[in-house]
Structure 1
């Protein structure tokens, strides 16, 4: 199992409005035997509430990593990304954009807002699971995530 060096699970915030993609992501992580707590919210406003521990998310943990869709209701994914990367308390959290958009403008704007990576979701469910597994291998096996601030 992949976990923090101290043995605690990795907290991942999945910001995704498509229930099928949430289900596939959960299944891929379960199959990969990643010791994680995968939290999901289905719009940008809820993502910001989770990150700032407001409202229904007052007890939310600080995520170690954010998987962010761009096409979200209420608050767009690019606006969430900008809010995270412009906040001194949140900017060190790696954000991986995971979206169906292949538009060059979305890719460019995401990197301008300091995303750590941009992944395009394939339409085929099996390919989607493969993308999640690749994400897992890189971000949770090879990369050292930043320590959680005290």
Structure 2
């Protein structure tokens, strides 16, 4: 299975921007998108082999039904999934959220970009995490 990044983002515009830039800057890694945090664990449960897991999970913090840090807790509590690097990102550039995310096991915390060039930079930084 090809390497892929799992993006969980409820905002349609942000998903579209991620998809466009991802296609532009990355040729070897796919982007798979979910719209809600509550979809992440069921999605992972459909993967039968470890090599079918995402290389990275990117979670928006502010989603309506389940916040990114709640999903992060579930992932890191699972023996099957805790090895997957997870990044929390948010429009709120709070040191408290960054500290909480890292304490819960996130690889890093990122602030949601405001313009296209910042998205490109962010995606390149994320791809560096996948190796």
- Could you tell me the TM-score, scaled by structure 1's length? 0.77
User: Would you say the 8 A contact 2:69–2:88 is kept in 1?
Assistant: no
More helix by share: 2
After TM superposition, the runs of 4+ consecutive aligned structure 1 residues lying more than 3 A away are none
Structure 2, gaps ≥5 residues long: none
Aligned residue runs from structure 1 range 1-150, under 5 A: 8-53=1-46, 61-136=52-127, 138-140=128-130, 143=131
Count of residues paired in the alignment? 128
Distance 1:127 1:11 in 2: 21
User: Would you say the 8 A contact 1:78–1:110 is kept in 2?
Assistant: yes
- Backbone CA RMSD of aligned residues: 1.9
Deviates further, 63-72 or 80-89: 63-72
Structure 1, gaps ≥5 residues long: 1-7, 144-150
- Could you tell me the TM-score, scaled by structure 2's length? 0.87
